[in-house]
Structure 1
Amino acid sequence: MASQPPVKAAYWPSWTANFPPSDIDTTLFTHIFYAFLMPNNTYKFEIPSSTARELSNFTTTLRRKNPLPKTLYSIGGGGSDSHLFARMASNVVSRQAFITSSIETARRFDFDGMDLDWEFPQSPEEMHNLGELFMEWRQAIVHEANTTRRAPLLLTAAVYFSVDFFLDETYRKFPVWSINQNLDWINAMCYDYHGSWDTSRTGPHAALYDPNSNISTNYGLRSWIRAGLLKSKLVMGLPLYGKTWVLKDPNSHDISSAAVAVGPGDNGVLSYAEIEEFNKKNGAKVEHDLDTISTYSYAGSVWVGYDDVISTTLKIGFAQGLGIRGYFFWALGSDSELKISKQASKAWVIDD
C-alpha cells in the first residue's frame, strides 16, 4: 500500500490586503485554505455578493496555477461564535441543515473541500456531538459524490494542539474514533502556547519542546498518536508570526524572563516579515534555543519569540521522524519573501 502524499498547506486569511491569491506560490503548497466563512443562525451559508466575488476569484485564480493546489474553505476561526457551533451540532436536524449547505457552498464556488475550525467544543457532550457531525458529514459527502459522479469533497478540521484540554477545568477530549473514520486529516494548531494573556514572562509560543511543562508541540502531537489517531491523519501547525513582550529588565532576556507588558504589534503579535524588519531596524540580537527549538530576539526592552528558517527546518525534521502527514502554516501573507515557506517545502523530504 503506497503512503499518502504529504500535506503542505497554508491558510489564506480573506482580510489579507497585501497578499492576493495571485501571489500564492503553489509550487510550495499542496492545499490552500480560504479563511473564513460562518453559517447564519439557521446554520446555513448566506454568501453576500462581495464575498461571493472573492470566493470565485480565490478558486478561479488558484485553478490557473501550476501545479494546481487543492482548495478548501475554512468554517469558523478563532473569533467565531463557539455557541453557534454547539447548537448546530446538538441535534440531527440542525446538523443536516449545516452539512447540506456546506456541501452546496463548496460546489457552488468550486472548492475541493471544507475545513471546520470550531474553537472549541466546551464539554464532553459537545465533543460527542462533534463526532456525530463528522460522521454524518462524511456520509453526506459520499452520497453527494456518488449522486453527481464527482470526486468526493475533502473534509478536515483545525483542532487544539493536544487531543484533550488537560489545562482546563472542564476536561474533554476530541472524538478520535470519528476523526479516523471520517476526516481526511486534522490541522493541529501547534502555536499560541504563550501570549498577551500572560504578560508576566516571555515564552516561546510554538515551542517544539518545553522542559518544564506539557505545553509543547512534541507533547501535543504525541498525545494525538497515543490516543489512537492515525499518523496519516495528523498535520502539524507552524506559525508565520511571533509574540512580543516588554522585559522587566533589559539585561534579563532569556526564555521565561520577567516581563511587564505586551510588546509591539497588534496585541503583541508581529508577522515574520515584521519581525525581520524589527530585528534589522533595531539591531536585535537573535538567539536559537535548542531546549525548546525556538527562536527569539531582543533589542532594548523588547523581546520577540517566533520561528525562523532554522527552527522551522528542525520542526519539519521532527514531524517527518514522527511519521505524520505534513504541516500547515498560519498564515499566508505573513512570511518574509516566502523564506520560511520555501525552506519548509524543501525540508520535507519525499521518498522516491
Structure 2
Amino acid sequence: MTLLSIAGGIVDDSALSSMASNASTRKTFIDSSITIGGPYNFHGLDLDWEFSSTTTDMSNLVFRSLSYPAEAMENNLDWITVMAFDIGAPTWKPNLTEAPAALYNPFSEVSGDSEISSWIRAGFPARKIVFGLPYYGYAWKLKDANNHGFLAPANGADITADGALGYTHIRNRIIGQGGAITAFNYTFASDYCYNGTTWVGYDDVKSILAKILYAKGKGLLGYFTWRVGLDDNWTLSKTV
C-alpha cells in the first residue's frame, strides 16, 4: 500500500494551522491531494501533522479536544500510526541515557506499550493501530565510562549534534569497527551499545522482534518503519 504523505516533524506548523482554519482552504488541500495522488494510484493520504497542539487546531481537524476522541477517529480514519519512538533523546534529555524507543518503561509513563494501551483504553480498536519502529537511535556521552546502563549520567549528545544515528551507521561505524559492547535490556525491551564514553540507545534485532511479537499479541493492524533507507543490509526488515 502506497500513501501520499504530507507534512512531518520539521514542517512549518503555522502553514498547516492556516490550511485547517476554514472550510475553503481545507477543501483546497483535499482537492489538491486527490489531484496529485490520483494519477499515481496512491491508496490514500497520510497527514503527518505531528504538533497540532492547540484546541483550535484539533477542532479544525474534526478532533474535539486535545484528548483525541477515539470514537470519532474510529468512524473517520482507516488507521492511526503510533510513533512509539523519540521517547528519549539527548537534545531534550541530556543528563541521562535513555531508551529512545522503549517498549516498556517502569520508571516513566511514556513507552510504546503505554501509548498503545492508552489508545485501546480510550476505545480505539487495536485492529486500526499501526505500531512505529525506528531504524535509528541516539548517542549520548557518558560522564563515567564504567557506568553504562540505561539512565546512566551523561553529558548530552555524542557523535552528531543531536546524537541521531541511523541503524546502518550504528552497525558499521560504531559496532563494526570493533571495541563497542552490545547489550539488550529486557526491562525496556531495547538495545544499546557503548565504547568508552560513547553510548548509543537503538533498536536492533531483539528489540524489533519483541515489538513485532507485541503487536501481534495486541492484535494491531501492523507496523511502519522510519525509515527503510537507514537499515543495514535489510537486517531489521528481514526480522519483521
Q: Give the TM-score taking structure 2 as reference length.
A: 0.95
Q: Which residue of 2 aligns with 1:313?
A: 209
Matched, 1:212 2:107: yes
Say whether the 8 Å CA contact 1:127–1:173 is kept in structure 2.
no
Q: Which residue of 2 aligns with 1:247?
A: 142
Larger displacement relative to structure 2 (191-200 or 176-185): 176-185
One-letter amino acid of the structure 1 residue matched with residue 177 of structure 2: K
Instruction: Name the CA distance, whole Å, in 1 between partners of 2:84 and 2:193.
Output: 20
Q: Which residue of 2 aligns with 1:294?
A: 190
Q: Which has the higher contact order (CA 8 A, sep 6+)?
A: 2
Q: Which residue of 2 aligns with 1:264?
A: 159
Q: Which residue of 2 aligns with 1:125?
A: 56
Say whether the 8 Å CA contact 1:202–1:258 is kept in structure 2.
yes
> How many matched pairs?
238
Matched, 1:71 2:2: yes
Match of 2:35 among 94, 104, 110: 104
Matched, 1:236 2:131: yes
One-letter amino acid of the structure 2 residue matched with residue 296 of structure 1: Y
Instruction: Name the CA distance, whole Å, in 1 between partners of 2:19 and 2:203.
Output: 37
- In structure 2, the residue corresponding to 1:333 is in which secondary structure? helix
Instruction: Name the CA distance, whole Å, in 2 between partners of 1:123 and 1:343.
Output: 39
- In structure 2, the residue corresponding to 1:116 is in which secondary structure? strand
| Consecutive aligned runs of 4 or more in structure 1 exceeding 4 Å deviation | none
Matched, 1:176 2:70: yes
One-letter amino acid of the structure 1 residue matched with residue 9 of structure 2: G
Say whether the 8 Å CA contact 1:127–1:175 is kept in structure 2.
no
Instruction: Name the CA distance, whole Å, in 2 between partners of 1:254 and 1:209.
Output: 16
Match of 2:18 among 52, 71, 87: 87
Structure 1 position 282, deviation (Å): 3.6
Q: Which residue of 2 aligns with 1:327?
A: 223
Q: Which runs of 5+ in 1 are unaligned?
A: 1-69, 133-170, 345-352
Structure 1 position 175, deviation (Å): 3.6
- In structure 1, the residue corresponding to 2:10 is in which secondary structure? coil
One-letter amino acid of the structure 2 residue matched with residue 192 of structure 1: D
Deviations 1:14-36 (A, max 9, x none): xxxxxxxxxxxxxxxxxxxxxxx
Q: Which residue of 2 aligns with 1:140?
A: none
Instruction: Name the CA distance, whole Å, in 2 between partners of 1:228 and 1:103.
Output: 30
Instruction: Name the CA distance, whole Å, in 2 between partners of 1:201 and 1:280.
Output: 25
Structure 1 position 131, deviation (Å): 2.1
One-letter amino acid of the structure 2 residue matched with residue 247 of structure 1: L
Instruction: Name the CA distance, whole Å, in 2 between partners of 1:174 and 1:78.
Output: 19
One-letter amino acid of the structure 1 residue matched with residue 110 of structure 2: I
Instruction: Name the CA distance, whole Å, in 2 between partners of 1:73 and 1:307.
Output: 27
How many percent of aligned residue pairs carry the same amino acid?
41
Larger displacement relative to structure 2 (261-270 or 300-309): 261-270
Q: Which residue of 2 aligns with 1:343?
A: 239
Instruction: Name the CA distance, whole Å, in 2 between partners of 1:233 and 1:128.
Output: 22
Structure 1 position 289, deviation (Å): 0.3
